[in-house]
Structure formats: C-alpha cells, structure tokens
Amino acid sequence: MLLRRLTYAFALAIFSNVAACHDESPIVPSGPRPVAVAPSPSKPIDRLAEGELAPGTHQAFGFVAPRDLHLDATFPDSAHFSGQVDPLALASYVKERVSASSAEVAEGRTTYERVRILAGDPKRVYKIDILSPNSLKTLLILSDLTPPQAVQGLSVAERWQRAGMTANGQLLDPMKQE
C-alpha cells in the first residue's frame, strides 16, 4: 500500500511538471511595467547641423579652432589659422565662442572687434578677423588687443632706463638698437 501511494505521488509530480512545461499562457511579471520612451523630436546632442563646424584640437588664447583649420603661426599677441572652410560657417562658429555685440561684415571679410573669448582669460580683449581671399582658403586671425599693464611706483629715470634710454633721450647701449 505504501508503495502504491509513493508511485501515485511520483506519477502525479511528473504529470504536473510535464503539464507546466506545455502551458502556453504568457508569464506576467509582477511589479511596475516599464514605460516606453518616445524618441526626442529635437536633434541629438552628438550631431552637427548642416554646414556646422566641429571643434578641433588646435587652440590659441583659449579659442579652440574648428577641425578643418590648421594653426599656421603663433606670436605673443596673435595667432593665425587657415583651412578650407565656409567663411559664413566659420563666422557662426566664432560667434558661439566669443562675447561679441556685433560684427563688421564686408566682402571677403568679417571682423569681431573687442571681444572676449569665452573659454579664455576674461581680462583679455581680442580682435578676430575672418578673411576669404579666394574660394580655396579661409584665414582666421586672432589679435590680442589688451594693453600691457603699467608698472606703478617707478621714477622717471627708472622708466627711461626700462625703455633702454637715458633721461635726455639717448640710447643706453648704442650697440643694442631695437
């Protein structure tokens, strides 16, 4: 009798497992259901608009030039870039990266006077020229217009000496003419 009950229990267990494996009803998870997110209608952040220039790796005075411009020369008070870019796209690129109230636009030239570079030193003032002498090359020239700081507390003789002159206007060292 005990053997018959065990056999019956074993058969019932196998039958219920087989029936559960063949059940085609969907499994419904408990808890909150995920919400479908609709794609954003605006353009993605990592995409450029038509004709928009991408930032590059060359920079001067805190200004990062577009990818298609190359740094040709740097000087203590200026930097020169050139490349094949659309001058209007370059002007838009520059306008986004400087604090400028206006620009002077003429044929083949755009000039931003007395601007501050947003990623640069806020105390420095620059002039930015965008020149397109021909359809093959566009030039960008950054010029630092910030006047040098005046040194306070010098006597008149010390100022002349720093300029390399005597108080009566003669060169201190005639062999070192500038």
For residue range 89-135, list pLDDT tens digits in order: 999 999 999 998 888 998 889 999 999 999 999 999 999 999 998 88
* pLDDT digits 0-9 by tens, 8-46: 665 555 656 555 555 555 555 555 555 555 555 555 566
Name the pTM for this structure. Answer: 0.61
The radius of gyration of the chain from alpha carbons, rounded to an integer in Å, stands at: 37
Q: How do the residues of the chain divide into helix, strand and coil, expressed in percent and rounded to 5? A: 20, 30, 45
- The mean pLDDT value of the chain amounts to 80
pLDDT of 171: 83
Return the pLDDT at 54.
87
The pLDDT, as a whole number, for residue 87 is 93
With contact defined as beta carbons under 8 Å apart, do 178 and 164 qualify?
yes
Q: Is 89 exposed, middle or buried (0-12, 13-18, 19+ CB in 10 A)?
A: middle
